């Protein structure tokens, strides 16, 4: 099924909108094809302030009003316990919230930005898509991440080259409790690294150890700022480590 065919079948739908390249392209392309789309961004403890700001900016850029749904992921003790199925539990909560609010707003069809390269075996949260009857037009159209990125570039989307991201909860080792304090510490640490010019860094917590993961090109910059980074991160952990295997594989 092409995206044009999807819009023909579903000319009016709600969209789970993260502000990433996939959901932004879907929103832009569907609007260009004449669809009426209402994007929803779910804000919980697992998303950063920057992510919400980016989503707002993109929606405004495309001439649509972004609706924010606020919920507490940590209000569910199962999520706070950080089990292996955490991603599935979180996605199920998110899609249930969007379904409920969208229905009240008069939207019966809900879609997301999953692409053809997203494999259920690698993304356990995708199980929640089927359970909540969430449609994935990009995946159904056979569009891969690379194809979507190129199409987003051709459309002139400001985030076309935005690196893929994951929620803050993914930085905490499975089985270790997720707390608001840990999430805040991770967000602040990654923001600090970003302000140093180290973009796309990950700070992963395992007990009292912080493991920094960066792209190959950023190793010299990180080492030159080593003392400042250790001082910053030592405020909440006993050991600061650097993963010598770069995130980009280079």
Indicate whether this model's pTM tops 0.85: yes
Domain 179-242 has CATH 3.30.930: no
Query: Tens digit of pLDDT for each residue in 200-248?
Result: 899 999 988 999 999 999 999 999 999 999 999 999 999 999 999 998 7
Q: How far is CA 20 from the centre of its chain?
A: 7
Same fold, 3-155 and 179-242: no
Q: What is the CATH code of the structural domain delimited by 3-155?
A: 3.40.50.620
What is the pLDDT at residue 250?
42
- Give the rounded percent of residues in the chain with a pLDDT score beyond 90: 86
What is the pLDDT at residue 44?
96
What is the pLDDT at residue 122?
63
> Residue holding tokens 């280079």?
250
Strand spans (E) along the chain: 12-16, 36-43, 67-70, 110-111, 202-206, 209-213, 239-242
Question: How is residue 80 written in tokens?
Answer: 């706070």
Question: How is residue 61 written in tokens?
Answer: 């850029």
Mean pLDDT of 87-95: 95
Q: How far apart are CA 112 and CA 102, in angstroms?
A: 13
Q: How far apart are CA 157 and CA 128, in angstroms?
A: 28
Domain boundaries, the chain: 3-155, 179-242
How much helix, strand and coil, in percent to the nearest 5, is found in the chain? 45, 15, 40
What is the pLDDT at residue 117?
84
Q: How far apart are CA 82 and CA 206, in angstroms?
A: 12
Helix 49-61 to helix 21-32 angle (10° resolution) is 20
Q: How far apart are CA 191 and CA 108, in angstroms?
A: 38
The helix/strand/coil state of 112 is coil
Query: Tens digit of pLDDT for each residue in 152-161?
Result: 999 999 888 8
Check pLDDT > 60 for residue 163.
Answer: yes
Strands 209-213 and 202-206: antiparallel
């Amino acid at each position: 099924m092409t995206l044009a065919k999807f819009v023909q079948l579903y000319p009016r739908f709600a969209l789970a909108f993260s502000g990433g390249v996939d959901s932004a392209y879907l929103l832009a392309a569907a609007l260009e094809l004449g669809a009426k789309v209402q994007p929803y961004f779910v804000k919980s403890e697992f998303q950063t302030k920057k992510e919400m700001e980016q989503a707002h900016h993109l929606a405004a850029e495309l001439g649509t009003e972004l609706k924010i749904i606020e919920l507490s992921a940590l209000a569910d003790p199962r999520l706070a316990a950080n089990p292996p199925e955490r991603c599935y539990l979180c996605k199920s909560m998110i899609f249930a919230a969007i379904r409920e609010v969208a229905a009240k707003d008069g939207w019966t069809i809900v879609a997301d930005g999953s692409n053809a390269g997203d494999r259920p075996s690698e993304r356990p949260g995708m199980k929640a898509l089927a359970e909540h009857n969430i449609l994935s037009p990009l995946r159904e159209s056979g569009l891969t991440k690379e194809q979507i990125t190129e199409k987003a570039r051709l459309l002139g989307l400001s985030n076309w080259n935005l690196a893929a991201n994951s929620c803050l909860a993914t930085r905490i080792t499975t089985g270790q409790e997720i707390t608001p304090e840990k999430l805040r510490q991770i967000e602040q640490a990654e923001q600090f690294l970003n302000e140093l010019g180290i973009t796309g860094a990950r700070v992963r917590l395992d007990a009292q150890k912080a493991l920094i993961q960066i792209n190959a090109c950023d190793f010299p910059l990180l080492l030159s700022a080593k003392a400042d980074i250790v001082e910053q991160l030592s405020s909440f952990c006993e050991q600061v480590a650097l993963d010598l295997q770069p995130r980009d594989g280079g």
